[in-house]
Amino acid sequence: MEATTNSPAGDTIDRVLTVQNKMGIHARPAAMIVRVTTKFAGEVYFEKDDEQVNGKSIMGLMMLAAGRGSQIRVTVKGAGASQLVNDLEALFARKFDEG
């Protein structure tokens, strides 16, 4: 599921990602996500169960308590949003390299 809009600041993309690794988003996967998102100059937010957190915050991501099978909506705003979403999709698909 993807919605894209164009604005002067760049694209806005919403996409739903599924947590597939066994332990969910704990400290290590949260750090991996932040490593990807901090390279992006725009805004990144993750949302689960009506709780939204900054996608550049390890603590925020861990507070989502996203276990295996959780659906998380990512919203990316700014130039290069599409590339960031692709990078995040790949990271989630790799199960954060945990198998």
Known catalytic residues are 26
| Cβ–Cβ < 8 Å for 25, 64 | yes
Q: Which of 97, 95, 92 is nearest to 37 (CA)?
A: 92
Q: What SS3 state is found at 41?
A: coil
Q: Which of 63, 56, 69 is nearest to 95 (CA)?
A: 69
